[in-house]
Amino acid sequence: MERIESHACHGGRQEVWSHTATTLGCTMRFGVYLPPQAEREDCPVLYWLSGLTCTEQNFITKAGAQRYAAEHGLILVAPDTSPRGDGVPDAEGYDLGQGAGFYLNATRPKWAGHFRMYDYVVEELPALVDAHFPTGSARGISGHSMGGHGALTIALKNPGRYRSVSAFSPIAAPSQSPWGEKAFSAYLGDDREAWKAWDATALVAGARERLPLLIDQGDADEFLVPQLKPELLRIACEVAGHPLQLRIRSGYDHSYYFIASFIGEHIAHHAAALRG
């Protein structure tokens, strides 16, 4: 591990670290915010997964989350969104390849050697964070857009691992969205049954834990109808009896202005579960 940034922030430290990711076969970066409480005690961890085209920088520079993490004593960890570098496969366009890992384990030969973001987020990164920072046993997960999809699917697939989950503008039914169909076809192949393992709307029916889902969605989001489809997740949750709080926010779009407006409420939601 190499620390490449460190900044005083709301009484704590915003850092960026680089390391060799064995799961992904490349060098990865992640941001970690250490609240002032971390100087004297172990703190719960909230993992944040960003969306298409993002790196670890978008959340730590635009969301304003550090203020609330300091208030509640949460460590924030924000990884990059995909493997990167020479030798890592890529594709034309912003919605496939580097910057578009979709938080799954690719199975098609072109991608399978590097694109294992699910294993990285669930296993390798937490092990690294727990070994180097004053973390407790409690962790939550959240994210935006593609990262919201990642947060929901990872929480649903790992009962008992996370005490809380939330999302902003998630790709809620990627098997039925152009973004998801393009990525799943490339990374997983043409078997749509295999796609269901990475689709929150499909996973809800078989979820072995009723971890409440908190989602904020702006009604002025240009991607709401063609890509995000939260109403499909809402219907699936109603059928399965899975707790869901879906809040439609009037006038808000898909940007970090939206996230910054409500990130305090999300961190309070996680803090209640992680410290309560």
**Of 221, 242, 266, 269, which residue is the catalytic one?**
221
Contact at 8 Å (CB) between 55 and 94? no
Question: How far is Cα 273 from Cα 26, in angstroms, rounded to an integer?
Answer: 34
Among residues 231, 241, 170, 232, the alpha carbon closest in space to that of 209 is found at: 241
**Of 114, 254, 269, 270, which residue is the catalytic one?**
254
Task: Concatenate the DSSP letters of all residues of 72-110 into one string.
Answer: HT-EEEEE-SS--STTS---SSTTSBTTB-TTSB--SHH
Q: Has 82 been annotated as catalytic?
A: no
**Of 142, 145, 164, 175, which residue is the catalytic one?**
145
For 140, the 3-state DSSP assignment is: strand
Measured from the Cβ of residue 265, the count of other Cβ atoms closer than 10 Å reads 13
| CA distance to 16, 31, 70, 100, 188, per residue, from 3 (Å) | 6, 10, 21, 25, 34
Q: Has 242 been annotated as catalytic?
A: no
Contact at 8 Å (CB) between 156 and 197? no
Q: Has 254 been annotated as catalytic?
A: yes
For 15, the 3-state DSSP assignment is: strand
26-51 burial string, b = 16+ CB within 10 Å, else e?
Answer: bebbbbbbbbbbbeeebbbbbbbbbb
For 3, the 3-state DSSP assignment is: strand
Supply φ then ψ for residue 204, to 5 degrees: -55, -40
Tokens of 55: 């790196």
Catalytic residues: 145, 221, 254
